[in-house]
């Protein structure tokens, strides 16, 4: 019985030390500070993007290229803007689609290919992608 009390005591001490240790880490080490992210070019585009945006754009270009009717089509980044979408469908729900009414942070990305611009809505990671509209140039 004494062994169980010793184990519980050691567990409590370790738990307290972990909580104290986590609480002492400065917030800037826990949170991603966008002001410190590096910039990079995407697909020789004049639009500068952060590292996180570059991942989103690279994924989006890959998805757009794989779905293009012309396999030789190339997509270039025209613009990328951070947005808060009004729902889980990224503000681009299909007809009769039910979406969770929750603010979803992400990006509005415009890619150009040939004579058209493609407006996409994404989440922050680029894992969820919606084609919102196609504009003729």
Taking only the tens place, the pLDDT of each residue in 73-131 is: 899 999 999 999 999 999 999 999 999 999 999 999 999 998 899 999 999 999 999 99
Residue-wise pLDDT tens digits, 15-36? 555 555 544 444 443 333 333 3
User: Which tokens belong to 120?
Assistant: 């996409």
Q: Where are the domains of the chain?
A: 1-31, 36-136
- Measured CA to CA, the distance from residue 1 to residue 99 in angstroms comes to 54
Per-residue model confidence (pLDDT) at position 41: 37
What is the SS3 assignment for 89?
coil
pTM: 0.63
Per-residue model confidence (pLDDT) at position 11: 62
Per-residue model confidence (pLDDT) at position 124: 92
- Measured CA to CA, the distance from residue 3 to residue 133 in angstroms comes to 67
What is the SS3 assignment for 41?
strand
């Amino acid at each position: 019985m004494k062994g169980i009390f010793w184990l519980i005591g050691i567990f409590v001490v370790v738990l307290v030390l972990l909580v104290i240790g986590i609480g002492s880490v400065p917030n800037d080490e826990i949170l991603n500070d966008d002001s410190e992210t590096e910039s990079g070019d995407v697909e020789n585009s004049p639009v500068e993007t952060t590292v996180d945006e570059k991942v989103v754009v690279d994924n989006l270009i890959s998805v757009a290229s794989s779905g293009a009717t012309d396999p030789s089509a190339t997509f270039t980044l025209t613009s990328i803007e951070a947005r808060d979408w009004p729902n889980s469908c990224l503000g681009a729900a299909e007809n009769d689609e039910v979406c969770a009414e929750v603010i979803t942070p992400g990006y509005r990305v415009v890619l150009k290919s040939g004579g058209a611009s493609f407006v996409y809505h994404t989440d922050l990671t680029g894992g969820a992608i919606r084609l919102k509209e196609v504009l003729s140039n």
